[in-house]
A = this chain, B = another copy of it.
Amino acid sequence: MASTVQLTSVLKTLADPTRRAVFERIAREGEVAATYLVQGSKVSQPAVSQHLRALRDAGLVAERREGRHIHYRVAPKGLGPLLDWLGHYQTFWAERFENLEKLLKESE
């Protein structure tokens, strides 16, 4: 029953393009250490660190410490509040939804 607060935090967190790019890279690569996210990012190490904190606080990523590296991965439930919310607007995107449906079937 994802609260408004959670949904707001997910949306705000994903709304920043730099931060969203970090999220997308984590999603693509599976598990990435922060250092590697800093390499290949336009912004500084502290900036990346702050984005990672925001992503974690929003429940969008989880972390696993391994020595002095911290590996980030996408938290499967993180997008939950957003998906729940979108569920209420199915009537507005039913068509597109069926496209996704097709994609999903093809991918298995």
Interface, chain A (partner B; CB < 8 A):
4, 7-8, 11-12, 14-17, 20, 24, 27, 74, 76, 78-80, 82-84, 86-94, 96-101, 103-104, 107
Within 8 Å by CB of A96, from B15, B83, B97, lies: B83
Per CB-CB distance, the 5 closest pairs between chain A and chain B, nearest first, are A11-B15, A12-B15, A15-B15, A76-B92, A83-B96
Whether B103 and A93, one on each chain, are in contact in the complex, defined by CB atoms closer than 8 angstroms, is no
13 new A-B contacts, CB < 8 A, other than A11-B14, A27-B92, A94-B104, are: A4-B17, A8-B16, A15-B15, A79-B89, A79-B93, A79-B96, A83-B96, A87-B99, A87-B100, A90-B100, A90-B104, A97-B100, A101-B101
